[in-house]
Amino acid sequence: MKKLVLGAIAGYQKVRFGRVSPCRYFPSCSDYSIEAIETHGLAKGVGLSLKRIARCNPFGGSGFDPVPEANGKKVVR
């Protein structure tokens, strides 16, 4: 199931390739989703991704928003 979800995200990225990203955060929401799923597993990674996508709106925040580490700390890269 994890490979299917990651494949769907990769497909979305291929379709969007070359277009301006509408995402207000860095990394983009799709890159964030891939990293969250790889770091935290499918269930928690999808949950983190959905929370991030919900924040990505004109009234939400913007800027650098990394995936939290597995122990709860944010990764600064």
- pLDDT classification of 77: cutoffs 50, 70, 90: very low
Q: What is the DSSP letter of 18?
A: T
For residue 24, pLDDT beyond 50: yes
Nearest to 39 by CA among 5, 71, 7: 71
% of residues, the chain, pLDDT over 70: 92
| Better pLDDT: 70 or 44 | 44
Residues 39-65 pLDDT 10s: 999 999 999 999 998 888 888 788 898
Rounded CA gap, 8 and 76, in Å? 27
Amino acid type, 72: G
Average pLDDT, the chain: 85
Token pair in block for residue 56: 């990505």
Query: What average pLDDT does this structure show over 62-76?
Result: 74
Report helix angle 2-16 to 42-55, nearest 10.
Answer: 30
